[in-house]
Chain A
Amino acid sequence: MILHTVNRSPFDTNCLNDCLEMAAAGSSIILIEDGVYAALSKTQFTDQMLAALPKHNFYVLRPDLQARGIQDCIIDEIEAVDYSGFVTLCTELDKVVSWY
């Protein structure tokens, strides 16, 4: 399976949409950089994320959340990982596809 990375805000670009459309059921998605805004729990994209949660394994990069001050505002079911966790995910999955 694939690990997808998304690094742009869903409010700004179509990256998240494209990724969600192409990601296979059961694949993993990590939100990094401005992609972390997709993990917010009270936005116009929250419903879309909640609907996608059963289909994919979602992760969000904790240092990028913290940098932006939104570590307490994200959807509970999305697991926050550090860079070490990001690397481990890359090793556990077959390949990485970047959406930017």
Chain B
Amino acid sequence: MIFSLAVYGAPFSCQASDSAYQFACALLEQGHRLHRVFFYHDGVYNGSTLATPPQDERNIPTSWSQLAEEHELDLVICVAAGLRRGMLDATEADRYEKPAHNLEQGFTLSGLGQLVEAAMISDRMITFGN
């Protein structure tokens, strides 16, 4: 079965990101396909490579990144919601003349159309909000 997940909660602030991550691991383990994880609203912070939790705590952006590499996942951060909240890749940092970019490996910035497309082609769309 084809799943997509929508994540609207900020990591380290509420449980939505953790729940989505655990759910993603479980569905992949069962052999289902994860078409896309779409990060919107405060969920965009899941893609910050600058997140620096203490070493004995889970690092949510890194966990997503590793899972994406293992399973070739499409981790999409809404570009409009991301830019507003300071989530930039190199291209956007250049475009807006910002001194830094902070997108974790494995994440991409793209439009809201990717959320709609995920809802259209997935058998199940699960929202993790806060």
| A→B interface (CB under 8 Å) | 5, 7, 32-34, 63-64, 82-84, 86-88, 90-91, 95-96, 98, 100
Contacts and interface: CB of A to CB of B under 8 A. Distances in A.
A90 B15 contact: no
A87 B130 contact: no
B19 A90 contact: no
B86 interface: no
Contacts of B22: 63, 83
B90 interface: no
B124 A91 contact: yes
A90 B124 CA distance: 7
A7 B16 CA distance: 9
Contacts of A64: 15
A52 B32 CA distance: 32
Interface string B114-130: 00000000001111111
Q: Chain A at the B interface: mostly helix, strand, loop or mixed? A: helix
B126 A83 contact: no
Given A84-B30, A96-B125, A96-B126, 7 more contacts: A7-B128, A63-B22, A64-B15, A86-B26, A90-B27, A98-B129, A100-B127
Nearest to B28: A87
B6 to A, nearest CB: 9
A83 B130 contact: no
A86 B23 contact: yes
Given A91-B1, A98-B126, A32 B30 contact: no
B124 A32 contact: no
Given A33-B15, A87-B32, A98 B23 contact: no
